[in-house]
Amino acid sequence: MNALGRHVALAGFMGAGKSTLGPELASRLGRDFISTDALVEERAGASVAELFAERGEAAFRELEEQVAREVLGRRTPAVVEVGGGALGSAPTREALAEAAFTLLLETTSEEAWARVAGSGRPLAEDAERFRALFDERQSTYEAAADGHARDVDGAILAAAGIRLAPRTEATGEAIVADERVAELHAIDATHRVPAGEAAKTGAEAERLWQSLRLERGSTVVAVGGGSTTDLVGFVAATYLRGVPWIAVPTTLVGQVDAAIGGKTGIDLPEGKNLVGAFHWPERTVIDSSFLGTLPPAELENGRAEVVKTGLLAGDALWEKPLEEQVRRCAAFKAAVCLRDPLDRAERAQLNLGHTFAHALEAASAYTLPHGRAVALGLVAALRLSGLEDLARETKDLLRVETVPVDPGRAWEALTRDKKRRDGRVRLVLLESPGAPRLDVELPDDDVRRALEALIQ
């Protein structure tokens, strides 16, 4: 389950951090932040403490339930902070189940008490009673929770259906695996596909369509790199007009980028990802143990996507420990995709460098690794952005070299890019790190020179 088209409701005991984390999460997801307690106070013309003192807890709970149900009934998804006792109401729990992704903010009774002791909250006046109430409510919170988090990145990952967990959490009626990954990790796959970009063809998609034996409620699990998850996600989107699927990315490229956000597709000889569908995974399971068996070249491929994400975020994510790179990059992309799930606006920023990368890949007949192509594309995009110093730093960081492909074929592939509009290619450039520029149109001669500078 994920928060696409649903409210994100923050649940948890008082002192869990809902009012602190909520506004930041709302900003990252491009949503309004709504506090039910604040609306209760506004409607009653009194503070929660005053309501408890003057009308009693029962009257407060009745008003709290009315407000919660009203907010959750609104059509525009928001981040909604519900009060610590709000889940005691059955009608509120029903409204959450119908309209929200309920996110439980994890804390301990000691942490919560340290935050609220002396705050004047009606139910935080006695430490022993506070801890007893904390324990009493946990089962209610757990029963209502669709996900758990302790920080903003964790909240975004949970809302996107992404779990950093062992691959055994991914189960389904059909398991489609990259043949090399299946051998290396002893995965009991029901179907195997070629390694790398060779999997992303119409022939492979047709082979899977014909061999799958599934019902509408069956789940397909994709285990492999970005090419595997692209292919299997597309097959799942189209088989029986759509069946659920789970992505288990095994490469750094897949874990930080390709398996996140619901874009699926296959390649044509004329260009990359020209046939596809939006089909968000039911769950994405990121198991860091896969990265330990990756050859250095594959880690370098993923590093290009990490650098791209860091440039967009304005943070040198590539300098972080590997597991933190994965978590931070996955959360950044997930937030962008939750804001723009159908790629109609700001999600385009994720294509920084990719217009050039896809053209080079197509011109190489998909023998050029995606990460190497992205590294080259980033350098071209930074040069066209007028950020020459950053382009040189990125070139050195990613050890970029030119590639031997046909310039004419690369240009032809670039002009078929999915982002073109009115017959013109639109580029993603950077004003500065953390400040992308979308839908930039430049003279063809400038774009072609930037492309050919990447070619031997």
Q: Find out whether 71 and 39 touch, Cβ atoms under 8 Å.
A: yes
Q: What percent of the chain has pLDDT over 90?
A: 88
DSSP 319-369: GS-HHHHHHHHHHHHHHHHHHSTTSSSGGGGGGTTHHHHHHHHHHTTT-S-
Nearest to 193 by CA among 219, 165, 221, 218: 221
What tokens does 260 get?
Answer: 């996140």
| 149-168: pLDDT as tens digits | 999 999 999 999 999 999 99
Measured distance CA(384)–CA(370) in Å, rounded: 21
Written as six digits, the tokens of 172 are 């389904």
- Looking at residue 120, its pLDDT comes to 80
Convert the pLDDT of each residue in 50-83 to its tens digit.
Answer: 888 899 989 999 999 999 999 999 999 999 999 9
Token digits of residue 175: 């398991």
The number of beta carbons lying within 10 Å of the beta carbon of residue 445 is: 8
Average per-residue pLDDT in the chain? Answer: 95
pLDDT single digits (tens) 275-327: 999 999 999 999 999 999 999 989 999 999 999 999 999 999 999 999 999 99
pLDDT of residue 123: 82
Q: For 451, what's the count of Cα atoms within 13 Å in the CB-facing half-sphere?
A: 29
| Nearest 10 degrees: Cα torsion 269, 272, 274, 275 | 90
* Domains and their CATH numbers in the chain: 7-150 (3.40.50.300), 167-294 (3.40.50.1970), 346-452 (1.20.1090.10)
Contacts of 126 (CB under 8 A, 6+ apart): none
pLDDT of res. 347? 96
**Is pLDDT of 420 > 80?**
no
CB of 397 closer than 8 Å to CB of 307? yes
pLDDT at 271: 83
> CA 337, CA 29: separation in Å to the nearest integer?
9
How confident is the model over 431-443, as a mean pLDDT? 96
**Helix ranges restricted to H, 220-343:** 226-238, 252-253, 296-313, 322-339
Model pLDDT for residues 84-122, shown as the tens digit of each residue: 899 999 999 999 999 999 999 999 999 999 988 888 888
The pLDDT tens digits of the residues spanning 362-376 come to 999 999 999 999 999
For the cut 80, the answer to whether the pLDDT of residue 418 exceeds it is no
Residue 40 phi, psi dihedral angles, 5° rounding: -60, -45
Q: Cβ neighbours of residue 71 under 8 Å, at least 6 residues apart?
A: 7, 34, 36, 39, 78, 80
pTM for the full predicted model: 0.94
What the block records as the tokens of 120 is 């004047």
- Dihedral sign from CA coordinates of 84, 89, 94, 99: negative
Q: Which residues pair with 223 in a beta bridge?
A: 177, 248
Q: How many Cβ atoms sit within 10 Å of the Cβ of residue 404?
A: 9
